Amino acid sequence: RIAYVNGRYVEGRHAMVHIDDRGYTFSDGVYEVCEVFRGALIDEQRHYDRLARSLRELRIDPPVGQGALEFILREVLSRNKVSNGFVYLQATRGVSPRDHAFPQTPVRASLIVTARSVDPKKGETAALKGISVVSTPDLRWKRVDIKTISLLPNVLARQAAKESGAYEAWLIDADGMVTEGAASNAWIVDRSGTIITREADQSILRGITRTALVEIIAAQGLRLEERKFSLTEAFGAREAFITGATTLVTPVVMIDGRPIGEGLPGPIAQKLRAVFHEHAA
Ligand code: PDD
């Protein structure tokens, strides 16, 4: 397994960063996960745009320009022979002795890139069965629109989901409204067939899959409302699903042990998954 680490392509066991890397000491960094499907990076430009925004919001200078990044991602994919799977990239503020404030003398941001193959059939199996989610309080900070590597609440939420036999956790804000999943965006379909997902403000990550799906929904002539929805509304929904680079469109058939709709993957979620695959191809 070959990783890119600050200018070099190295064997996995030698792929290391400095103990004073601010990603390690403070989670002071950002990341992207991009799906690779039949050798192509899905919605690649949108990932670069979101990365640039995340870096800007945290005032981290980009470690390399977009052209170089495009080259590095392809190099890591080909050196690992990945044609279906993901590429992961992480940029941190760089190496500097531990001090909360930014380094006084500017340091170069760190950049690492890894890639992993995933059997596309695995996701298909999950999508055919549908997944279960559990609700858990959203304990994150108020700027989760920035894709930072600071993911401890998400880690704990995912672990809670796993321990109760579910795949994903839906995070619930102080008003009982669903924000998003621990690593995905959350959607429901109401009794009239209207698709609902929370508006992309600072309380959720504006998923690349979400953005692509908003366009697909419009092109399909389906109705979409971008607004908050409560857990109670989700319990009574006809369908539910999640979106993300690692899950694409995956139907949700159970929330907190209660079946959603018929307790089977819904027709709208299945349709959107199929159309999303066409868009990716
Ligand atoms: N997570 N919301 C959160 C909190 C996420 O972590 C993710 C993605 C999404 C969906 O975004 P996108 O469609 O751009 O993947 C929404 C990635 C896959 C991860 O952390 O592994």
pLDDT at 277 over 90: no
Q: What is the mean pLDDT of residues 153-179?
A: 98
Query: Torsion angle, CA of 159/165/169/174, rounded to 10 degrees?
Result: -90
Q: What is the pLDDT of residues 10-29, one digit of tens each?
A: 999 999 999 999 999 999 99
Does the structure show a pLDDT above 80 at 237?
A: yes
The larger pLDDT score, comparing residue 106 to residue 30, is at: 30
- Residue 70 burial (C-beta neighbours within 10 Å; 0-12, 13-18, 19+): middle
pLDDT at 6 over 70: yes
- pLDDT, residue 278, reads 82
Beta carbons within 10 angstroms of residue 119's beta carbon: 10
Query: Is 2-118 in CATH node 3.30.470.10?
Result: yes
**Size of the chain, expressed as the number of residues it contains:** 281
Q: Find the catalytic residue in 147, 162, 228, 271.
A: 147
What is the residue whose two structure tokens read 């959720």? 204
CA 122, distance to chain mean position in Å, is 18
Q: Residue 124 pLDDT more than 90?
A: no
Q: From CA 49, how far away is CA 31, in angstroms rounded? A: 12
Distance 144 CA to ligand 1 centre (A): 11
Helix (H) or strand (E) holding 46: helix 44-58
* Strand intervals (E) in 58-127: 85-92, 110-117
Q: Tokens 């920035």, residue?
A: 146
Which pLDDT does position 281 carry in this prediction? 63
Q: State the distance from the centre of ligand 1 to the C-alpha of 245, rounded, in angstroms.
A: 6
33 pLDDT higher than 80: yes
- Regarding the beta carbon of 244 and ligand 1, being less than 6 Å apart is answered yes
35 lines ligand 1 (CB under 6 A): no
Where, residue-wise, is CATH 3.30.470.10 in the chain? 2-118
Looking at the chain, the domain(s) classified CATH 3.20.10.10 span: 123-280
pLDDT, one tens digit per residue, over 195-217 is 999 999 999 999 999 999 999 99
Q: Is residue 121 annotated as a catalytic residue, yes or no?
A: no
Distance separating alpha carbons of residues 15 and 27, to the nearest angstrom: 18
Is 123-280 CATH 3.40.50.10440?
no
pLDDT tens readout for residues 70-118: 999 999 999 999 999 999 999 999 999 999 999 999 899 999 999 999 9
Average pLDDT value over all residues in the chain: 96
pTM of the predicted model as reported, rounded to 2 decimal places: 0.97
**Complex ipTM above 0.90?**
yes
What is the tens place of the pLDDT at every residue in 147-161?
999 999 999 999 999
Q: Categorise residue 193: left if φ over 0, alpha if ψ from -120 to 50, beta otherwise.
A: left
